[in-house]
Structure formats: structure tokens, C-alpha cells
Amino acid sequence: MGHFSNQPLIEPLALLHGEAARQAVAQGLAHWFAGGPHAYALARLIGQGQEGTIVPVAALPPAWEEAARRVSAAVPDAGLPPGPQVMGIINVTPDSFSDGGQHDRVETALARIKALHAAGCRVVDIGGESTRPGAPAVPAEAEWGRIGPVIRAVRACSALDDLHLSIDTRQAAVMDQALAAGATLINDVSALTHDPAARAVVARHGCPVMLMHMRGTPATMRAHTTYGDVAVDVVRELGQRVEEAVAAGIARTRILVDPGIGFAKTLEGNLTLLARLPLLANLGCRVVLGTSRKRMIGELGHEPDAAARDPGTIAASLPGMVFPGVVLRVHNATAMIQAMRVRQGLDQQ
């Protein structure tokens, strides 16, 4: 592990927004969170033998001053449009857990992407390999055969010129071909650890990259769900992936981080992560949150049909709105955009 494994962390607590946040910051009772509009009045100290101590922000010990600066700072846009974004999901696979087989022809995939764009999506994530629990790996040639024609079709459509295309892949050869064909960013559920060549490809292209937290592989991750403190462990492990990416020549300002809801986590672990998302601000990167239609929502909402889990998806995604530039990755983008805009209005009050 690198230095991030032991540096002090701050968990922002007692979050405020709107006029209350502005007053509390002006009076020295709160610090801005990730550049605002939220602020936090209390901090849980993590590290340096202070595990779990809660202090007012005005009483932060000197060892946590650097962490406090990082948590308060606005994060880079990472090459994507500013402000909260909804990332639409399009799986050109026969076996994805929610929409497998629905968009595995170029015509249907392009029609779906045009609909997402019309709904307000400016980022769409295209996947050619299912990462559902237990999913088998797909050869790079087969994966590229699925997504390559879709990328070319999108880039041939002038009406979609402002659309950012994310490619959900773990394979360096697919990344390289996709970026050369006009993809904008890479979404790697293995955080560039699956393929030894992946970091070099991303560094060479200078593109944004989403690093997701996962242990094991989609086929084995259910055997890796034991943590000391799941929220702290995820932040520290993601921090290590960020450091490795930076060491490989990837600009920190191009990195987005995803806590990996549902990947090597139990139901309880997923709920803890969602309740403690502000810890991710210690990484200084834009946050991606993907809860869409996952097993957790089915268990809590008593809904066995993945396609019927959109209301629960909205509820599980809205905690991410504490981050002013959060990217919410969902299947039903139209519903999520409406919910996001309402939440933005409430946060201004």
C-alpha cells in the first residue's frame, strides 16, 4: 500500500446547505464541503490513533489540516461537463443483469443513445461485457465487436457531437480502440488493475478515467466482502488505485472515483457506504455513483424484477448529490434527471 493507507482522513458530519451553510461558514462554525453548496460543522477524525473522535471543525487538530483543505476544495471536472450529471447506461451485451439483449444491435443502441441525449444526458456509458456477479470474462475481440460499431455510429451523428462517450471495459486493447474511434473516457470496474497495459493506454490518450472500487473479479467478488470499516477501507483502497494511476502518468485532474456499490460488498456494507459517502472527498476526485437497479434495491424494496427498481435507484442515488459534480450512473436517465433537478432546487434553500 502507498502513503494513502495511513494518512489522516476526515469524515464530514452535520452537513448543512443553503443559507444555513453560508451563515455557519461565515461564523467559523462550518467548513465548505467539496467547494459547496454544502458545508459540514463536525468532523470524525480517522487515523493517528484518533479513530472515531468527533470534533467541531473549529477544533480540528493540526494533523488534520491538510485533510480539511482537501475535503473543502472544489474538485476538477475531469474533462466532463460541470455540475451534477446523469450518466445513462447502454449495455450492448446479451447477458447484463437488467438490460441484457435489449440493445445488442447498432440500430437499437443508437436509438437508445439518442433518447438519452434528448432527455438531457451528456454522458453515456457503453458496456460490452457484463460485470454482474458471477459473470464470465469476454475476449477483447468479442467485446470490441459489440461496442465498436456503436461508437462509430454515435460519432457519425452530428446531433450527438456534445455527447461524452464512456466505455465500460477492463481490457487495454478495447480501451485503445475505443478511444481512437471517438470514445471520451474509460470506466474500469477493476480500477486499471485487470489488464497490466491499461494504465499506459489511458496515460497515452490523456483521457478521463473512472476508477471503481472492487475486490477480486466479477466472478469472485462475493468472496471478498469482509472489511474492518467498509467506508474507510474503500476510501483507502481507492486512494491507492488513484496513486498508482498518477504514478503511471495519468493526471490526477482526469480521475473520477466510484465506491463500487454492489461490488464485493454485502447489503449492510452498501448501506454504510451510501450513508458515509462524504468520506470520498478525501480523495480530491470527482465522484461517480452507480446504484442503478442493483440487488441491494431489490432486497430493500422487495422487488425481484431488476427493471422495476427505478424508484429505489433514485432514492439510493440522491445521497451522491452532496457532491456538487457527482456523476449518477443509471438506466432510467429521464427519471433521475428530474429527481436531480428537484434536489438541486432544494439544496439552494
Distance separating alpha carbons of residues 165 and 124, to the nearest angstrom: 5
Predicted confidence at residue 101, as pLDDT, reads 47
Three-class secondary structure of residue 54 per DSSP: strand
Mean pLDDT across the stretch 40-66? 94
Is the same domain home to 148 and 196?
yes
Residue 80 lies in a domain: no
Does 4 score more than 70 pLDDT? yes
Cβ proximity of 185 and 167 under 8 Å: yes
In the prediction, which pLDDT does 184 show? Answer: 96
Per residue in 69-82, pLDDT (tens digit) is 999 999 999 999 99
pLDDT the model gives residue 218: 85
Share of the chain above pLDDT 90, in %: 86
pLDDT for position 104: 62
pLDDT recorded at residue 219: 84
Give the CATH number for residue 241. Answer: 3.20.20.20
* Confidence (pLDDT) at 100: 47
Rounded to whole angstroms, how far apart are CA atoms 125 and 173? 18
- Same domain? For 12 and 127 the reply is no
Task: Spot the catalytic one: 112, 170, 309, 329.
Answer: 329
Tell me what the mean pLDDT of segment 201-222 comes to.
94
Looking at the fold, whether 98 and 40 belong to one and the same domain comes out as no
Q: Are residues 111 and 229 in the same domain?
A: yes
Rounded distance between C-alpha atoms, residue 136 and residue 322, angstroms: 35
Instruction: Name the pLDDT band for 349 (thresholds 50, 70, 90).
Output: confident
Task: Please state, in angstroms and rounded to a whole number, the distance separating the CA atoms of residues 79 and 327.
Answer: 12
Going by C-beta distance under 8 Å and a sequence separation of 6 or more, which residues neighbour residue 189? 131, 168, 170, 212, 214, 218, 260, 263
How far apart, in whole angstroms, are the C-alpha atoms of residue 103 and residue 258? 25
Active site residue 265: no
102-145 pLDDT, tens digit per residue, is 556 889 999 999 999 999 999 999 998 877 777 777 899 999 99
Looking at the structure, tell me whether residues 91 and 239 fall in a common domain: yes
Residue 37: phi and psi, rounded to 5, are: -85, 0
Residue 198 pLDDT greater than 80, yes or no: yes
Statement: residue 298 has pLDDT above 50: yes
In a domain, 78, yes or no: no
Q: Is residue 230 part of a domain?
A: yes
Average pLDDT over residues 147-154: 96
Residue 142 within a domain? yes
Residue 310: pLDDT above 70? yes
Residues 204, 249: one domain?
A: yes
Q: Does residue 250 sit in the same domain as residue 133?
A: yes
Show which of 72, 107, 129 is a domain's final residue: 72
Provide φ and ψ at 10, rounded to 5°: -120, 130
Helix (H, G, I), strand (E, B) or coil at 57: helix
Q: How do strand 286-289 and strand 327-330 relate by DSSP bridges?
A: parallel
Domain residues for the domain of 331 are 85-348
Distance CA 151, CA 166 (A): 10
What does the pLDDT average to over 301-318? 97
Does residue 254 register a pLDDT over 90?
yes
In the set 294, 309, 341, 343, the catalytic residue is 294
Are residues 230 and 126 located together in one domain of the fold?
Answer: yes
For residue 125, the SS3 value is strand
Distance CA 29, CA 44 (A): 15
Residue 103: predicted pLDDT: 52
For the record, the C-alpha cell of 167 comes out as: 466505455
What pLDDT band is residue 97 in, cutting at 50, 70 and 90?
A: very low
- Let me know whether 207 and 276 are in one domain: yes
* pTM (two decimals): 0.94
**What residue type is 294 in one-letter code?**
K
The pLDDT, as a whole number, for residue 49 is 85
Q: How many domains does the chain have?
A: 2
Whether 270 is covered by a domain: the verdict is yes
Task: Confirm whether 190 is domain-assigned.
Answer: yes
SS3 content of the chain, % helix, strand, coil (to 5): 45, 15, 40
What SS3 state is found at 146?
helix
pLDDT, tens only, 261-293: 999 999 999 999 999 999 999 999 999 999 999
Would you say residue 96 has pLDDT above 70? no
Pair 213, 339 in one domain: yes
**Does residue 189 form part of some domain?**
yes
* 3 state SS of 210: strand
CA distances for 95 relative to 22, 98, 101, 170, 331, angstroms: 48, 8, 6, 17, 15
268 and 175 within one domain: yes
Say whether 294 is catalytic.
yes
Phi, psi for residue 44 in degrees, rounded to 5 = -90, 125
Name the H helices within the chain. Answer: 18-26, 65-72, 106-119, 140-155, 172-181, 198-205, 230-247, 267-275, 295-301, 310-317, 333-347
Say yes or no: 151 and 299 in one domain. yes
Q: Would residue 77 count as lying in a domain? A: no
